Amino acid sequence: MKIGLMITCINDALYPDAAISVVKVLERLGHAVYFPEGQSCCGQMHLNSGYRVEGIELAKRSIDVFESFDYIVSPSASCVGTIREVYHNAAVATGDHSFEESASQFAPKVFEFSEFLIDVLKVEDVGASFPHKVAYHPTCHSLRVTKAGDRPRRLLEAVRNLKLVEMEKEDSCCGFGGVFALKNSDTSIAMGSDKFASVKKSGAEVLCSLDNSCLTHIGSIADRMKSGLKVMHLAEILAQTGDEK
């Protein structure tokens, strides 16, 4: 089994810790992951904001770069969701049959991190320990596109010393939405501050999710409020063994 790591542009540039954690967890489970250096971005940003011509080129590049792998794992439900749905829609809308074909062959090989652990590696307990109160935010794309279901919770519940706390309206959108956060910044902030309020009310010390983009949004409000709330990608929590400083 040759596993390719699609780390996403945002993790590569801004959140190397989440990306490193993916490598560490998979290593701990006995799997080496390979990083094709030709990767950059799956094309989501361009595709979703209407720059379809560019988005399709980036999509094709991603497919090319990962062509030789049996499994591709990515710590982003939203990028995986883009590959599964948006590639197809863009191909159909532009009548690009060869892209439609390559996208449909590519998509089944791509797994979001929690799916990969549960469905492919069949593990729930990855040997992690994390003595904190954690709230889990199901991001919209993990909820409705990749349909992660209870996988992330099962992984978190198996973490030693971790206390999972419930959050009101947990499935409501954090208001990030890519270009939405800039083009409709006021509405985005209204959504984000409501989300932040429910995280805060849950009593969590750490907010966890499957996407660093959503965590950026909630985390940036939390930071601006100097709330002390920490945001961590699922991989970062699963990488903790309790031996850290």
**Closer residue to other proteins in complex, CB, 47/117:** 47
Run of H or E including 45 = helix 44-48
**Closer residue to other proteins in complex, CB, 95/108:** 95
| 23 lies in the binding site for other proteins (CB under 8 A) | yes
Q: Mask of contacts with other proteins, 38-57, x by CB under 8 A?
A: xxxx---xxxxxxxx-x--x
> Per CB under 8 A, which region of 60-68, 153-161, 201-209, 234-242 contacts other proteins?
60-68
Give the residue, chosen from 29, 160, 166, 190, that forms a contact with other proteins under the rule CB under 8 A.
Answer: 190
Q: Alpha-carbon dihedral of residues 226, 228, 231, 234, nearest 10 degrees?
A: 180
- Do residues 139 and 211 lie in contact, with contact meaning Cβ atoms separated by under 8 Å? yes
Q: What is the DSSP string of 223-239?
A: HHTT---EEEEHHHHHH
User: Three-state SS for 107?
Assistant: helix
CA distance to 6, 85, 149, 237, per residue, from 22 (Å): 10, 24, 20, 10
Cβ-proximal residues to 35 (8 Å cutoff; 6+ apart), any chain? 4, 5, 7
Q: Mask of contacts with other proteins, 191-220, x by CB under 8 A?
A: xxxx---------------------xx-xx
* Rounded Cα distance, 245 and 224, in Å: 27
In the complex, minimum distance from the CB of residue 202 to other proteins, in angstroms, rounded to a whole number: 18
Give the residue, chosen from 1, 6, 7, 76, that forms a contact with other proteins under the rule CB under 8 A.
Answer: 7
Site for other proteins in 61-90 (CB under 8 A): 61, 64-65, 85-86, 89
Site for other proteins in 137-176 (CB under 8 A): 140-141, 143-145, 172-173, 175-176
**Total site size for other proteins, rule CB under 8 A:** 74
